[in-house]
Amino acid sequence: MQVNLKFTVRYDGTDFAGWQVQPDQRTVQGELERVLSQIASQPIRITGASRTDAGVHALGQVFSCHWPRAAEPQRLAKALSKMLRPEIRIENAEEAPPEFDARKSARGKRYAYTLSLTPHADPFSARYAWHVPWPVDVARLAALARRFEGEHDFAGLQAGGAAPTRTTVRTLHSVHVREGGTVGPCDAKGLFHIEFHGDGFLYKMIRNVTGTLVDSARGIVPEGRIDELLVSPGPYHGHTAPPHGLTLLGVEY
């Protein structure tokens, strides 16, 4: 009897070419499908809620798959984690309704972009935070972040080369800046997180928003550039923040 399963997974994206399967590339989806297929003794294909880019991390990525027979989800999760390398860990597994699809059923997502605002890079945050060595006005950064909240056409903040979408209109419920946090084996200094909560995100949209915010908070891009981008047909031409500072926190259903 085939069952539909829902998994929550966390991973360090540093050494992966992103989530989605790609020929001759090591990807998170590829590793999960490889091990699941070994356990099932037949090919297993999975659907992820978010196609994170190369170098992007996740604490709460969700994927679903059809399992060929009855299964104990938690037992399967433990077996899967044991067979995977340490960069990927299964946080939870459960049986889902037959119609559940990790991508199509998603109603919202939360991401955090981590900035390291210290004169010199901290070795314990270097893999997970964008070190910005220039002076950044954090109060201005927080105020400007609020400008992106609400429903907008974010075409002007979508990177070129994106797959066609039905619409580029998205709603950001909140965008706020939070100080502090722990990264690596100890408390890293000078960390700030830009936290995004929205119903969906376009290709590299968060990294483009972050790059724009940092440049505006540094005073090298005028505030009016944000208003221009929110009415631009795109694609984005500006500073794209590097991928390693971005983490998918969770998916809402």
Which residues are annotated as catalytic?
Answer: 53
Separation between Cα atoms, residue 161 and residue 175, nearest integer Å: 25
Nearest residue to 10 via CA among 88, 102, 106: 88
Please report, as a single letter, which amino acid is at residue 251.
V
The DSSP bridge partners found for residue 183 are: 186
> What is the biggest distance separating any 2 CA atoms in the chain, rounded to whole angstroms?
60
Separation between Cα atoms, residue 56 and residue 128, nearest integer Å: 9
Taking the alpha carbons at both ends of the chain, their separation in whole angstroms is 25
Other Cβ atoms less than 10 A from the Cβ of 145: the count is 23
Burial class (CB in 10 A: 0-12, 13-18, 19+), 220: exposed
Q: Which helix (H) or strand (E) holds 198?
A: strand 191-198
Strands (E), 97-143: 108-116, 130-131
